[in-house]
Structure 1
Amino acid sequence: MEQELSGGNMDPVMRVDDTVRRVAGPWTPAVHAWLDACEAAGIAGVPRALGIDERGREILTYLDGAVLADAEPDVRWSEGILGAAAGLLRSIHDASVPLVADTGLSWRSPRHAPAQVICHNDFATYNLIVRAGALVGVIDFDFASPGSRLWDLAYLAYRIVPYAEDAADSDQLDRERRLRLLIDAYGISFAPDDVRAAAAGRLDELAAFTRGRARETARVDFLDHAAMYERDAARLRHLGPFG
């Protein structure tokens, strides 16, 4: 019996027993190569690629747990989970390095210079899975592509520090402290200003992409999302305070 999972804004995502079935495409072999590299590196927090089903959908293992974005505030904004998320991102980045130069792989998203690693491109609270107050892993690798470590870390910062306008229950958080903790947990000494600047650039691209999706689908809510990304990018560039 198939059960539709929430969060499939682009394509339907179905659960079948202990597996997940998703629409496959030209990018799927590349994504599976990355998931295989993570498995070979002993990284537990990613789905395993199990091939293609009889309907042409990719088959992945199901990560049991809840989406971090839906967790209670004490879990959602836990400094322990923030650090674990940065550590997991570093691990999957490191595992991806041999794939960056493989010109035989086709990715769904554009390549961003400097291409240092394979970026998840959506490593955020709504794709992080928690169980019993601890981070279990990350899902939704479909929009991966080569890019910089900072590109991915900056978007995680946007969502988990957080700098997003729609981040509920975050008014009392010490964002400067949380950003420093995130950078330290990732393990490369990025300057906080560089992380915020990269996040603003990431939001510029995301706003343009989301406006394009609004035109394709006639979904007005996409326009609302795009406008929020633009406001948040402006704030990250110090053009106005976070409210």
Structure 2
Amino acid sequence: MTDQDVEEELAGGGVNRVVRVGATVRRPAGAWSPRIHQLFEHLQTRGFTGAPRSFGTDALGRDVFEFLPGEVGHDPWTPAVAGDAALVSAGRLLRAYHDATTDVAASWRDGWQKPAVEPVEVICHNDVAPYNCVYDGERVVGLIDFDVAAPGPRAWDLAYAIYRFVPLGSAAGPRAGERLAMFFDAYGADEPLRRAARAAVVPRLRDLTDHMRAAAAAGDEAFAAHIARGDLDHYLKDMALLSG
């Protein structure tokens, strides 16, 4: 067996078992996988290098993507993940990603794991957070885990990104307002988009909690485990706090 055959399970998979094999990542395929491969191929044609390249499927039927070198921002946050440089670079990367999808968002409405959210403007990543970002030192240089990507408005994706990166809710610090403005500035958001993103945070969390409950009720052991460890209660608490 060569190093190219060794499977190294990657931390933070959460819902799926994700492994590294050499310079690739292998993960279970879903009905939405063709769209994810198509998205990655499109991003390459647009010159966006902050997402993995697609390598099709392997002999086991798993999706095969490029392994992006660097560190992933898992909890507990390091000073680099929590820093302003990470926040700003994440905002800039998200804007570049969104801009690279505007020409296909409206025509690629179907085939995703989640339904499109109107008005469709971009292909939302739908889970932009430090745990789905690759860091080079203090800078965010890549996005990973596009399983729940789907067409939607910029504000929908921004809402979850600011909730996670600023952060907002019960985890908000004394500089939350300043960091929120920094993220919006880095993204290049105008005032209407800033208002829309702030207004979408609670609806976005409601969509997440609905998805968690439905998945657990359908027998998804991973989401059931997330609920058991208190993730659902945390989101519900933040929804109440942010609605006040």
Per the normalisation by structure 2, the TM-score is 0.88
The structural deviation recorded for 1:193 is 4.5
- Stretches of structure 1 that go unaligned for 5 or more consecutive residues are none
CA contact (8 A) 1:196 1:236 kept: no
Are 1:16 and 2:21 counterparts? yes
The structural deviation recorded for 1:105 is 4.7
Q: How does 1:51-200 map to 2 (within 5 A)?
A: 51-70=56-75, 72-103=77-108, 105-165=110-170, 167=171, 171-172=173-174, 174-190=175-191, 192-200=194-202
The structural deviation recorded for 1:212 is 2.3
Q: Classify 1:72/1:54 alpha carbon distance in 2 versus 1 (closer, same or farther; 3 Å).
A: same
Quick one: percent identity of the two aligned structures? 38
The structural deviation recorded for 1:103 is 4.8
The structural deviation recorded for 1:118 is 0.5
Are 1:233 and 2:239 counterparts? yes
SS at match of 1:87: helix
Q: Classify 1:57/1:164 alpha carbon distance in 2 versus 1 (closer, same or farther; 3 Å).
A: farther
Q: Separation in 1 of the partners of 2:226 and 2:10? A: 20
The structural deviation recorded for 1:80 is 1.5
The structural deviation recorded for 1:91 is 1.0
Q: Give the letter aligned to residue 146 of structure 2.
A: F
Deviations 1:68-125 (A, max 9, x none): 2347542122111111111111111111122222258511112111111100000111
Q: Give the letter aligned to residue 79 of structure 2.
A: D
SS at match of 2:103: helix
Number of the residue aligned with 1:206: 208
Match of 1:7 among 6, 9, 12: 12
CA contact (8 A) 1:34 1:99 kept: no
The structural deviation recorded for 1:181 is 0.9
Deviations 1:138-177 (A, max 9, x none): 1001110010000001100000110143x4xx634x1111
SS at match of 2:101: helix
The structural deviation recorded for 1:26 is 2.2
- Stretches of structure 2 that go unaligned for 5 or more consecutive residues are 1-5
Q: Separation in 1 of the partners of 2:39 and 2:58? A: 19
Q: Separation in 1 of the partners of 2:185 and 2:83? A: 16
CA contact (8 A) 1:108 1:143 kept: yes
The structural deviation recorded for 1:7 is 2.0
Q: Separation in 2 of the partners of 1:68 and 1:95? A: 24
Q: What is the count of residue pairs matched by the alignment?
A: 234
More deviation, 41-50/101-110:
101-110
Q: Separation in 1 of the partners of 2:79 and 2:96? A: 25
Number of the residue aligned with 2:3: none
Q: Separation in 2 of the partners of 1:69 and 1:177? A: 23
Q: Separation in 2 of the partners of 1:229 and 1:66? A: 26
SS at match of 2:8: strand
